[in-house]
Amino acid sequence: MSEPVNLNRFRKEKARADRKARADENAVKFGRTKAEKSRDKAEAEREERRLDAHRRDDD
């Protein structure tokens, strides 16, 4: 005879594997690399400095 299977454990392991697979798909679809994040951050900082440099002083 085969060994009995705990259906609750099986169900939970299957759900965990499904969530992991969905997370991996989303990471590929929507994720950004560290280089992309740092490039965007540097670009935003450069744009902010440019706008501050063109700001008028109303004193």
The predicted pLDDT at position 16 comes to: 98
**Residue 59 forms part of a structural domain:** no
Please check whether residue 1 lies inside any domain of the structure. no
- What pLDDT was estimated at residue 43? 97
Q: Which parts of the chain are beta strand (E)?
A: none
Asked if residue 58 is part of any domain, the answer here is no
* Chain segment 1-59, per-residue pLDDT in tens: 789 889 999 999 999 999 999 999 999 999 998 999 999 999 999 999 999 998 888 76
- pTM metric for this prediction: 0.52
| The pLDDT of residue 57 | 81
Q: CA-CA distance, 23 to 17, in Å (whole number)? A: 10
Q: For residue 2, is it within any domain?
A: no
Residue 18 belongs to a domain: yes
User: Which secondary-structure segment (H or E) carries 47?
Assistant: helix 34-53
Structural domain count of the chain: 1
Structural domain containing residue 38: 7-53
